[in-house]
Amino acid sequence: MVRFSTSFLDRASQAVHRSSAWSKLVVVIAVSSGGGLVAYADAKSDLRLEPSHRTCRKKVVVLGTGWAGTSFLKNLDTSLYDVQVVSPRNYFAFTPLLPSVTCGTVEPRSIVEPIRNIMKKKDGMIKFWEAECYKIDPASRKVHCRSSTGTNLDGNGEFAVDYDYLVIAVGAKPNTFNTPGVVEHCHFLKEIEDAQRIRRSIMNCFEKASLPNISEEERRKNLHFIIVGGGPTGVEFAAELHDFVTEDLAKLYPTVKDLVSISVIEAGGHILTMFDKRITKFAEDKFQRDGIQVKTNFRVMQVSDNAITMTNSTTGEVSVPYGMVVWSTGIGTRPIILDFMKQVGQGNRRVLATDEWLRVHGCDDVYALGDCATISQRKVMEDISAIFRVADKDNSGTLTLKEIKDVLGDICERYPQVELYLKSKRLKGFLDLLKDSDGNNVRESKEINIEEFKKALAVVDSQVKMLPATAQVAAQEGDYLARCFNKMKICAEHPEGPLRIRGQGRHRFHPFQYRHLGQFAPLGGEQTAAQLPGDWISIGRSTQWLWYSVYASKQVSWRTRMLVVSDWFRRFIFGRDSSCI
Ligand code: FAD
């Protein structure tokens, strides 16, 4: 995640995948990270500006310092804009290592980078306000903010910031599905503070269970750790906790070690459903061997101060006492976004929608990226008549194969589902869609009418998928948007995007295209599962080493990289710290 290194890393990792050689990855990572630093050094020399140039720059306001916001800032040419950042957090947090913080495998400060360190590398061209934006006012192009730390002389700490371009990257909040008692009694695992609280809570449970004069039943209750949600975060936390208990706490609390139980409650039929079935099966089998109970098809009804009530079609409602519950069932929309959605006519939606250029629908010059928004991919069938018209250059009412070939590149870029569909059906090219019912190729001289064209493309929209709410997506979106901002002027004169289907000329930029680089599921006991592009599955200890290499390389700075790696060494040598700090 070092500046400019992303595309290099992508290319490098593709090369590694092609060669299928794990051993080469560490070398590639080291090179790419170094490349990022060199790029930083180069970028500085561009930032010397005349004062007159500075005053006429457009104001860009960025909300949030998470994956999307930070990636945008790191890749933006800040000499072109007057950039202001508003966030209640004056640091970037490397969320994939949050589960490791809950058990002390990694220290909290090792995975955060102060946002001012990132700003320093931009020659102080970015202004940062530690505040929460509580209202976006698109009509007057202002965001209203409230300071998170202090107040001004009026005593309310509120201020407004004007923008020409607004980049919303405020992330999401945990989703409780309005289940009673969750907010009051459960831990979430979203922020650094959540991980610190969980770490303290685990130790408190062990200390409470070790007190004299309490019954065994009470000890068992205190040592029952429940994780609600069998997604990647819940599963990784369960695995971390199991390792912490068996590798460290069992030696320190020998009298109660056999009373510990860990349960994962999942509403669906399996855990890790977003992964390949082989990974799901491996994870479920491993958890069974480790004694982690996986309760699938259970829906939590309510959480009280000492028991969690859940229901299942065979058992009916059951109440289970617990010592600690971690709630990890996905994400929901933040109130500020819900309010903004109402203002821009998206009040009936669940998530803020943008177009494929990350522009908020119904709102000029406002962009939204990361977990707070979703790209609503335009459907081919919504535009089919317009696509036909654009392709039909001679207005003959039919399309020749040449006419189709001429616009094919633009169609595939504007509607990526076309290529996804071809891939899913193992078709070689678009013309395969036009084959007749006997599978014969179309003749060169054939002219296709609108009905045949519609029929050929009728099902391609089945491949439209929402992008997952991950750091990978958020970081790529931030990087993409920064690159668009950097070439805003050039592309206004020389548009680089696909043909406009419902307008004239070309789109200014290429639409955002997500490249999936794979995903990991750490399962504890130095074993990790990985699903890499091309459905390449790898599970075991060697994958754990790949995980270490990738996560070390993806750190935002050399400082955090060194800290994380030294934390891993410390854990290998001395074990995890059990102080209740
Ligand atoms: P965030 O990173 O959440 O950043 C949001 C920012 O907005 C924060 O700085 C916040 O302080 C700020 N903000 C909030 N409200 C306001 C406001 N009102 N005004 C101004 N600023 C505001 N993804 C992966 O790809 N791989 C993983 O392994 C992985 N592991 C994860 C593990 C955990 C425990 C968690 C919680 C998430 C994990 N994710 C992972 C998902 C990933 O962290 C998110 O998808 C990613 O953080 C989204 O980035 P974002 O920039 O949209 O939001």
- Report pLDDT for 453: 87
The pLDDT score that the predictor gives to residue 3 is 36
The protein residue whose alpha carbon is closest to atom 11 in ligand 1 is: 89
C-beta of 133 in contact with ligand 1 (< 6 A): yes
> Is the C-beta atom of 87 inside 6 A of ligand 1?
yes
CA distances, 329 to each of 182, 239, 442, 475 (Å): 11, 17, 50, 22
Nearest CA to ligand 1 atom 30: 96
So what's the pLDDT on residue 4? 34
Six token digits for residue 84: 């202001």
Give the pLDDT confidence score for residue 22 in this predicted structure.
Answer: 36
What letter would DSSP give residue 364? Answer: T
Ligand 1 atom nearest 519 alpha carbon:
26
User: Residue with structure tokens 């419902």?
Assistant: 502
Per residue of the chain (581 residues), what is the pLDDT tens digit? 333 333 433 443 444 344 333 333 333 333 333 333 333 333 333 344 455 555 589 999 999 999 999 999 999 999 999 999 999 999 999 999 999 999 999 999 999 999 999 888 887 689 999 999 999 999 999 999 998 776 655 667 899 999 999 999 999 999 999 999 999 999 999 999 999 999 999 999 999 999 998 999 999 999 999 999 999 999 999 999 999 999 999 999 999 999 999 999 999 999 999 999 999 999 999 999 999 999 999 999 999 999 999 999 999 999 999 999 999 999 999 999 999 999 999 988 889 999 999 999 988 899 999 999 999 999 999 999 999 999 998 888 898 888 888 888 999 999 999 888 888 887 777 777 777 666 667 666 778 889 888 888 888 898 888 999 999 999 999 999 999 999 999 999 999 999 999 888 999 999 999 999 999 999 999 999 999 988 799 999 999 999 999 999 999 899 999 999 999 999 999 999 988 88
Report the alpha-carbon distance of residue 188 to residue 175 in Å, rounded: 10
How many angstroms separate the CA atoms of 361 and 376, rounded?
9
Distance, in Å, from the CA atom of 462 to the CA atom of 116, rounded to the nearest integer, reads: 44
Atom of ligand 1 nearest to the CA of 336: 18
Contact 159, 317 (CB under 8 A): no
**The sheet that has 224-228: what strands, in order across it?**
187-188, 324-327, 224-228, 261-266, 292-296
Looking at residue 26, its pLDDT comes to 35
| Res 155: pLDDT | 65
The residue among 107, 88, 129 whose CA lies nearest residue 192 is: 107
Judge if the beta carbon of residue 478 lies within 6 A of ligand 1.
Answer: no
Output the CA 453–ligand 1 centroid distance in Å: 42
407 lines ligand 1 (CB under 6 A): no
Ligand 1, atom 37, residue with closest C-alpha: 95
Query: CA-CA distance, 300 to 175, in Å (whole number)?
Result: 13
Whether the Cβ atoms of residue 292 and residue 242 lie closer than 8 Å to each other: yes
At residue 498, the pLDDT reads 94
**Cβ 99 under 6 angstroms from ligand 1:** yes
Mutate to test the pocket of ligand 1, among 67, 102, 159 (most ligand atoms within 8 A of CB): 67
Q: Which pLDDT does position 362 carry in this prediction?
A: 84
Q: DSSP 3-state assignment of 51?
A: helix
- Closest CA to ligand 1's atom 32: 96
What pLDDT was estimated at residue 353? 96
Residue the block writes with tokens 């891939």: 423
Q: Which two tokens stand for residue 463?
A: 């491949």
Q: Is the CB of 84 under 6 A from ligand 1?
A: no
Residue nearest to atom 46 of ligand 1 (CA): 471
- Whether 201 and 326 have beta carbons less than 8 Å apart is answered as no
- What's the CA-to-centroid distance between 337 and ligand 1, angstroms? 15
| 312 secondary structure, DSSP code | E
The whole model's pTM is what?
0.88
- Long-range pairs, 360-367, Cβ under 8 A, ≥24: 360/168, 363/138, 365/141, 365/163, 365/164, 365/165, 365/166, 366/136, 366/138, 366/165, 366/166, 366/168, 367/165, 367/166, 367/167, 367/168, 367/481
pLDDT at 449: 87
Distance 204 CA to ligand 1 centre (A): 28
